Amino acid sequence: MLHIDMDYFFAQIEEIRNPEYKNKIIAVCIFSGRTEDSGVISTVNYEGRNVGIKSGMPIVNAKKLAKSGIFLPADHKYYESISQTIDGLIRSNCTKVEKSSIDEWYALAEDEVETGKRIKLEILNSTNLTCTVGVAHSRLGAKMASDKAKPNGFLILGKEKERNLIDNSPVEKIIGIGPKTKDELNELGVKTVSDLRGLNQFILIEKFGKKTGAWLYNLGIGIYDSEIEERIEKGEFSRIGSLKENTREKGKILEKIVELEREAKEELKYSKKFYKTLTLIFITEDIKMHTKSRSFSKPRGEKETNLDEIKKLMSEFLDNERKEVRRVGVKFSGLVEMDGQTTLF
C-alpha cells in the first residue's frame, strides 16, 4: 500500500506561485470576515511551524508569533485544481486509488516502491510541489510511514518495522481512535497500541461494540486493514459561507444553508445537471470540517426541494457535536446530464 500526502499543501502552493516569498513565513488563512483579522490558520510552511504557528490557530495569535510573516487568504478553487492534476497523475500510475482528502491518497500498484518514486517525481515535475510517500503492508502503516518521513520524504516499512512503529504509537495517533475512545482506553491502562495486546477480545467488544472492539483487538495483535475504497472523483457543485457568528442555533444555521443551497442550484440549472447526492458541510469553531450526506436513488434536479433532508441532516450533526458552527456549506455531487437521460430515470 502507498500513502501520498502533499507537504504543507496550501502554503507550498502559495510559495511556488509567489517566488518572492521564498524563505519567509507563509500562512494560509481562512478569514471569517467579521473583523479584519478574525479567522484561523489553514496551514503554514515550515518556517512558520518553527515559530509555533499551527493549523487551526486564530490568525491574531499567529500574527503575534510572526510579525513579518505573509498571511494570505485561502484560494480553494486553485488548490482544488492542483489536487485534481495530482489525482490524475496518481491514477495513471496505480491500479487502485482512494483519494482521502484534498492532499492525500492511498493507492495500490504493481510495484509500490518504484511507483511511489515515479509519482513523487511526476508530481514535482508537473506542479513543482513536494510530497511525502509511505509504503507499507497496510493502510495504517503506509499513513504512519508518510507522517514520519515528512517533509519531502520516502519511507518504506517492512512488516517488522511497520509493526514496531504501530505498536509504539500512542493510541490517539491511530486514525479511528478519537478523544472519547482514547480516554476509555487510557482508563483500561492502554496508552500505546502494544498495550492492547493484553486485553481480552470480549472485554473490548463489550466496551466498544462489535465492530470497534474487534478492530482494536486486531490492532493489538498486529492485524491491520489493507482495504482500499475506490472512489472516483466526480464533478460537483458546492457553496460554502460564514455564519454571522459562531452558533449552534438551528434557525440561524438553517437560514444560511438554504441560502447557499439556492446559489448552488443556480449552477446546476446553468450546467443542466442532476445530482444524486446532497452533502451538508459544517466547519466548527476549531476549523474541523464535518459532512453529512444523503444519496437519492433517483437523481434530483434544480426544482426539487431538499428542506426536509437538510433539516434532518442538520439535526443529526448538531445532536452529535457540541462545538459551535463557524461556516456551513452545501454540495451537490454524483452529477448526471439532464439532457437525454430522462428515460433512464
Question: Is beta strand 70-73 parallel, antiparallel or unpaired with respect to 26-31?
Answer: parallel
* Selected binder of ligand TTP within 55, 127, 242, 284 (CB under 6 A): 55
* Selected binder of ligand TTP within 98, 103, 162, 302 (CB under 6 A): 103
CB of 40 to ligand TTP, least distance (A): 8
Task: Please choose, out of 1-9, 57-65, 230-238, 303-311, the segment that lies near ligand TTP by the rule CB under 6 A.
Answer: 1-9
* Selected binder of ligand TTP within 34, 150, 276, 290 (CB under 6 A): 150
Residue 279: name its binding partner from ligand TTP, Mg ion, none (Cβ under 5 to 8 Å by kind).
Answer: none
Residues annotated as catalytic are 104
* Residue 127 to residues 3, 27, 202, Cα–Cα distance (Å): 19, 20, 50
In 3D space, the residue among 264, 278, 268 whose CA is nearest the CA of residue 337 turns out to be 268
* Selected binder of ligand TTP within 2, 3, 10, 264 (CB under 6 A): 10
Contact 235/333 with Cβ under 8 angstroms?
yes
Burial class (CB in 10 A: 0-12, 13-18, 19+), 115: buried
| Per-position x/- string for 88-117, each x denoting binding to Mg ion as judged by CB under 5 A, each - no binding | ---------------xx-------------
CB of 187 to ligand TTP, least distance (A): 28
- CB nearer to Mg ion: give 101 or 315: 101
Residue 10: name its binding partner from Mg ion, ligand TTP, none (Cβ under 5 to 8 Å by kind).
Answer: ligand TTP
Interhelix angle 9-17/76-93, rounded to 10 degrees, is: 100
* Selected binder of Mg ion within 1, 3, 5, 335 (CB under 5 A): 5
The CA distance from 126 to 89, in Å, is 9
**Cα 182 off chain centre by:** 21
Contact 169/193 with Cβ under 8 angstroms?
yes
Residue holding cell 497496510? Answer: 138
- CB nearer to ligand TTP: give 58 or 301: 58
Residue holding cell 510572526? Answer: 66
* Residue 332 touches ligand TTP, criterion: CB under 6 A: no
- Neighbouring-strand partners of residue 238: 331
Contact 119/133 with Cβ under 8 angstroms?
yes
- Neighbouring-strand partners of residue 31: 39
Q: What are phi and psi of 168, to 5 degrees?
A: -85, 0
* Residues of span 260-289 touching ligand TTP by CB under 6 A: 287
CB of 178 to ligand TTP, least distance (A): 15
* Selected binder of ligand TTP within 1, 2, 8, 169 (CB under 6 A): 8
CB of 260 to Mg ion, least distance (A): 25
Residue holding cell 489525482? Answer: 87
* Residue 6 touches Mg ion, criterion: CB under 5 A: yes
In 3D space, the residue among 148, 129, 156 whose CA is nearest the CA of residue 6 turns out to be 129
CB of 5 to ligand TTP, least distance (A): 5
* Residues near Mg ion (CB under 5 A): 5-6, 9, 103-104
* Residues near ligand TTP (CB under 6 A): 5-10, 42-43, 55-56, 102-104, 150-151, 287
